[in-house]
Amino acid sequence: MAAIISCHQYSFVATSPLKKSVHHKLSSTATHTNFHFAPSPNNAPIQPLKPLCCSQTPPPFRSPPKQENWFFPSLKGCAISIALAVGLLTGVPALANTTSNPALPDVSVLISGPPIKDPGALLRYALPIDNKAIREVQKPLEDITDSLKLAGVKALDSVERNVRQASRALKQGRTVIVSGLAKSKVDHGIEMLNKLEAGMEELEQIIADRNRDAVSPKQTELLNYVGGVEEDMVDGFPYEVPEEYQNMPLLKGRAAVDMKVKVKDNPSLDECIFRIVLDGYNAPVTAGNFVDLVERHFYDGMEIQRADGFVVQTGDPEGPADGFIDPSTEKTRTIPLEIMANGEKAPFYGATLEELGLYKAQTRLPFNAFGTMAMARDEFEDNSASSQVFWLLKESELTPSNANILDGRYAVFGYITENQDYLADLKVGDVIESIQVVSGLDNLVNPSYKIAG
């Protein structure tokens, strides 16, 4: 179907992730939206800004009139609105935001520093820990990726410096790292540290042998050890989910799933298994909902329903419903919009960061990586996500990593960490043969799939 997308100051028609008209569909399980705010400075209430301008919304299923008088308050607003409109019409997915109080993005946000695009690194930095010593080991190991981009002998020389820096940081900071491990995970954390130390010695030998091809696999192995140590620093779940969502399926930690896809009409690719890491630390409700649906085999046998070069999307069941019908209620199960911002101890619920007036806030799980996974929802209802999910494929001028029009408006809850490059080969009609949880199922709380029905 077609849905109306409002982007700051311009409205137009684009392909929608949902079947029904967003003008007529509301959440069937919620009659009002609950906002949860972080404390504002001096306990001052957060006041939403008034719209910069008004625009008529074209009716569903129709393109906007080619000739119409649109009012823009400034040349800057006009330029940005036109840029957004052109970019969205040519690529941005119709995962419309519900912003009723739009504002222009701050330029300082748009030109912020180089973003992290590696999904593994994004997941490591998203952990709720504060241990500088382990980060000082992590950073030079991640820098090996850039070192390998250098030409000739300079690459291995740079990698050697990275490894020496990481080894030195590990030796100097080991005591601090061990002291940061959760008491129940100390033994496993020390085991990971020992493997990390031995692995760095092996990498030094690989460099001495000038075996460039062996560097990247070993780097991946070492960073997995680092990630294991960092996860062992998390002691329990770091915050309380709001009371109204506490009985929903919640992922209190992380889980990994394998999604096996049967690829049609592609002589070079018959099937592919994508490893997806789901982050319940930063999106417990969203990730928990997905894992619960996976355990119900909801997605098994479902086709890829959208693959337009910008996103790959699925999760719309057959029939009139746009999402998962809970057998216990015979209604569509919806979940709240859930966004964790940097510097916050818990996610915001029920509102976009823009609606909350947090225009400069950066999300803990950004749309930075190829294969970023998020929930699709209705344009005008923040809390309407159910079962439809999408994976981001490309970065464009309008969606630069760490400063794009999706961050803070759609709930990211995971990243594809293996075989993500093959995501671009999927097309409409390819079949998800199965999605299986391979680790972390014990972190799922309130699993509804265990209830009869």
Between 85-89, 283-287, 339-343, the lowest mean confidence (pLDDT) is in 85-89
- Per-residue exposure over 154-164, b if at least 16 CB sit within 10 Å of its own CB, e if not: ebbebbbebbe
What is the structure's pLDDT at 56? 33
| pLDDT tens, residue by residue, 160-173 | 999 999 999 999 99
Question: What is the CA 158 to chain-centroid distance, rounded?
Answer: 32
383 or 99: which leads in pLDDT: 383
What is the structure's pLDDT at 81? 38
Residues 141 and 128: their CA atoms lie apart, in Å, by 20
| pLDDT tens, residue by residue, 383-427 | 999 999 999 997 655 566 556 789 999 999 999 999 999 999 999
Model confidence at 59, pLDDT cuts 50, 70, 90, reads very low
pLDDT at residue 324 greater than cutoff 60? yes
- Listed in sequence order, the DSSP H helices in 91-152 are 107-110, 119-125, 132-142, 144-147
Does residue 389 contact residue 299 with C-beta atoms inside 8 Å?
Answer: no
Between 369-383, 392-406, 436-450, the lowest mean confidence (pLDDT) is in 392-406
